Structure 1
Amino acid sequence: MGKLGRFAAIFIPMALTIASLICLSIVCVGQSNKDMDLANDLYFFKAITKDVDLNPNEKAGEKVNEANDKLKNLPNSPQFNEDLLKALQGSAKSNKLTDFYKVGIRGYCEGKIDGDKEIVEKCSDQVNYFWFNPIEVWGLEGTSAQNMFSDEFKKGLDSYKKVAKWMVTCYGLALAATALEILIGITALFSRWGSLATTIVSCISSGLAFSAALTITLLYSSLVGIFETVLKPYNIDSEMGKQMLSVLWLGVAFSLGSGIFWLFSTCCCSGKSDKKKVKVEKTPYTYERVASPYLGASANNSHQMHPVAPHGGHGAKFEPYRNGH
């Protein structure tokens, strides 16, 4: 069962590798097209800004006082800035600040909320080293409001920007290594050396995928924490995308699983044919034909191979044979 057994040995790791590549590719689709439902449902981070008051009033003042009371109980927390609230409300009034923002790995989408329905109106261009800069997106960059954000918020965004570059690079390498793993995996069909080479590539791709997924999870968890600490008093909510993270970590799980099965395939089913050459043994006490005495046999052999007929008759002609025993 050589070839068939070899195929069965690499079927599972190859299927897991393909499944991992599909999951990692789906992650790249998130927030890339406003007309694609799948893309709109997948995001790492979402900021909800629909509840920022459009007009300052007495209720806004109550929010200021309530926010200050909450912030006083938090260590090293920035004080609520009423001027910043007005700047955010002004941005919302001029439609620079929409109801929500969803962030993917290479871009973001924004739109309005109608009841329980989110309507995506626009998506940004897809860029290689993307990071979400709310100050720029909300139309506050270069204004006096930019300086009203706390140092904690600015430092958090700066760290996010730096780590995002590493995150995207690592993720791109994980995608490339997974695709390469599939190509090299084809050679594993023919030999265990192919399995060994594929196992090495699989370890690299799994390590990159795990590192990227861990970085993404920690990075956007930190971003949510910054928004909750600094912008929650301004009635801006944030959350992480569970669906996107589920697809991401499922791809990592598939990648790790494929590596284990590729390793197993290096020590089972070589892929060589099971046919063996059968050596025919001679049966004892049998005879086999030898060369004719006319082709140069010796005199002694000639006597053995041409027995004399009894009573002086002519010698009977027998085919010369020798004892096979």
Structure 2
Amino acid sequence: MGKVGRFACILTPMLLTLASLICIVIVMIGQSPWKGNDAPGTELGRDLYFFKADTSGFTSNPDNIVSDVANDLNIDNELLQALQGAASSNDLKDFYQVGLWSYCSGDKKDGKETITYCSSRKFNFWFDPLTVWDLKDTNLQQVLGDKMQKGLDAYKKVASWMTWAFVIALILTAVEFVIGFFAIFSRWGSLVTTIVSTAQTLFMVAAAITATAMYGALAGVFESVLKPYKIEASLGSKMLSVLWIGVAFSIASGFFWLISVCCCSGKSPHKKVVVEKTPYTYERVSSPAFGGQQAQHTGYAGGAAGHGTSGTAYEPFRQQHV
């Protein structure tokens, strides 16, 4: 029963660790460049993104947009003309969705979005709208102002750290799951697994906080600078939900790994009692003084001592050293 109880105690953190691992993998496949729209996981991956820029308000009819906002004091004509040129040359798509390794873009028609392109995976990926919209060689950087440029520079720097945090969290989660099997046999295994789980949780939480704050700031920059041009930005609620659920699983698994260190030793509750012999024991011997008539004289019968006629009131013993 001890081993069965130990296994039941370890099963809960093992399942929580596996759930956390699945969440990290789901986050990593978001906006992946699948081969063909019918590839496994395509629908799931396309619905998951950290950040989305919706430019359909501008691309739907850029000429009308120019006329509508021409008198707006917040509009920069040079930026407006650059965006109009990008839309006319099809360099500006209707929407852009940003994942951990890549981004996807596509068209919107009658409210339905269709992804037409996904960039190749890149380790230290960050979404540069000036490059993507083919506006890198223009004066747009000066037109966008310091706020936009500082926001993009900060995003580029933090994106590298965030990618490493996710990769390390993934590796530690896999190691935690493998080492967890050894915790079935020993509480020392639980201790080692708890240490790995603690490190995994730290990187998981750091990655989640970084992603949420970074893309939240990026969406804010897009909204403040590009909203007058009918370009909207938003965070991916599905992606962040999966990410933070993975964090919850990670914290819970670490708690239960710690519990398994203190409880559920796996040893049987029944202990075998060993009685040791005393160094000196005594055993009854026949009396040479009374011979075979001892039982009659002493009245001993069936293991009980009575009162004999000889007056002997004791039984002789011999001492044996063991």
- TM-score tier, shorter chain, comes to 0.7 to 0.9
Q: How does 1:201-280 map onto structure 2 within 5 Å?
A: 201-279=196-274
5+ residue gaps in structure 2? 295-316
Q: Tell me the equivalent position of 2:179.
A: 184
Shift of 1:24: 0.7
Q: Tell me the equivalent position of 2:63.
A: 56
The amino acid of 2:258's aligned partner reads L
Q: How does 1:14-53 map onto structure 2 within 5 Å?
A: 14-33=14-33, 35=37, 36-52=42-58
In structure 2, distance between residues paired with 1:141 and 1:304: 121
1:139 equivalenced with 2:128 (yes/no): no
Judge conservation of contact 1:185–1:194 (CA < 8 Å) in 2. Answer: yes
Shift of 1:309: 7.2
> For residues 148-204 of structure 1, what are the alpha-carbon distances to aligned partners after superposition, in whole Å with 9 as ceiling and x for unaligned?
221211111011000001111111111111111111111110111111111111111
Shift of 1:89: 1.3
Q: 1:160 aligns with which of 143, 152, 155?
A: 155
The amino acid of 1:62's aligned partner reads D
Shift of 1:304: 4.9
Q: Tell me the equivalent position of 1:85.
A: 80
Total equivalences in the alignment: 288
> For residues 114-154 of structure 1, what are the alpha-carbon distances to aligned partners after superposition, in whole Å with 9 as ceiling and x for unaligned?
11211011111111111000000011111233442212111
Judging changes above 3 Å, is the alpha-carbon distance between structure 1 residues 87 and 248 closer, same or farther for their aligned structure 2 residues?
A: same
What secondary structure is seen at the aligned counterpart in 1 of 2:57?
A: coil
In structure 1, distance between residues paired with 2:32 and 2:275: 70
> For residues 282-301 of structure 1, what are the alpha-carbon distances to aligned partners after superposition, in whole Å with 9 as ceiling and x for unaligned?
9xxxx98x9xxxxxxxxxx7
In structure 2, distance between residues paired with 1:277 and 1:55: 87
Judge conservation of contact 1:33–1:40 (CA < 8 Å) in 2. Answer: no
Judging changes above 3 Å, is the alpha-carbon distance between structure 1 residues 303 and 55 closer, same or farther for their aligned structure 2 residues?
A: closer
Judging changes above 3 Å, is the alpha-carbon distance between structure 1 residues 55 and 200 closer, same or farther for their aligned structure 2 residues?
A: closer
State the TM-score, normalized to the length of structure 2: 0.82
The amino acid of 1:95's aligned partner reads N
Root-mean-square deviation (CA), in Å? 2.7
1:120 equivalenced with 2:115 (yes/no): yes
What secondary structure is seen at the aligned counterpart in 2 of 1:51?
A: helix
In structure 1, distance between residues paired with 2:110 and 2:160: 36
What secondary structure is seen at the aligned counterpart in 2 of 1:269?
A: coil
Judging changes above 3 Å, is the alpha-carbon distance between structure 1 residues 180 and 304 closer, same or farther for their aligned structure 2 residues?
A: farther
> For residues 195-248 of structure 1, what are the alpha-carbon distances to aligned partners after superposition, in whole Å with 9 as ceiling and x for unaligned?
111111111101110010000000000000000000011111111000000000
Shift of 1:26: 0.3
5+ residue gaps in structure 1? 69-78, 291-300, 311-321
> For residues 60-82 of structure 1, what are the alpha-carbon distances to aligned partners after superposition, in whole Å with 9 as ceiling and x for unaligned?
2431323x2xxxxxxxxxx4211
In structure 1, distance between residues paired with 2:289 and 2:7: 59
In structure 1, distance between residues paired with 2:201 and 2:21: 11
In structure 1, distance between residues paired with 2:44 and 2:214: 23
Q: 2:98 aligns with which of 100, 103, 109?
A: 103
What secondary structure is seen at the aligned counterpart in 2 of 1:130?
A: coil
What secondary structure is seen at the aligned counterpart in 2 of 1:110?
A: strand
The amino acid of 1:38's aligned partner reads L
What secondary structure is seen at the aligned counterpart in 1 of 2:106?
A: strand
Question: Structure 1 stretch 139-148 or stretch 201-210: which is displaced more?
Answer: 139-148
Q: Tell me the equivalent position of 1:3.
A: 3
Judging changes above 3 Å, is the alpha-carbon distance between structure 1 residues 281 and 304 closer, same or farther for their aligned structure 2 residues?
A: farther
Judging changes above 3 Å, is the alpha-carbon distance between structure 1 residues 265 and 323 closer, same or farther for their aligned structure 2 residues?
A: farther
In structure 2, distance between residues paired with 1:145 and 1:158: 15
Judging changes above 3 Å, is the alpha-carbon distance between structure 1 residues 9 and 61 closer, same or farther for their aligned structure 2 residues?
A: same
What secondary structure is seen at the aligned counterpart in 2 of 1:150?
A: helix
Percent identical across equivalent pairs? 51
Judging changes above 3 Å, is the alpha-carbon distance between structure 1 residues 14 and 305 closer, same or farther for their aligned structure 2 residues?
A: farther
